[in-house]
Amino acid sequence: MPVTLDVWAALMAGLIATIVLSILMIAKSSAGLMPRLNPIEDIVHVADHPTGMTLPLPFGWIGHFVLGTVVWGIIYAALQARLPGAPVVKGLIFGALAWLAMMIFFMPLAGHGLFALSLGLQATAATLVLHLIYGAVLGVAYAKAAHA
Structural domain spans, the chain: 7-146
Other Cβ atoms within 10 Å of 89 Cβ, number: 14
d(CA 111, CA 94): 25
Q: For the segment 38-86, what is each residue's pLDDT rounded down to a tens digit?
A: 888 898 888 876 666 777 888 999 999 999 999 999 999 999 999 999 9
- The DSSP letter of residue 54 is P
75 near 60, Cβ under 8 Å?
A: no
Q: What is the pLDDT of residue 50?
A: 62
- The DSSP letter of residue 105 is I
Whole-model pTM: value is 0.91
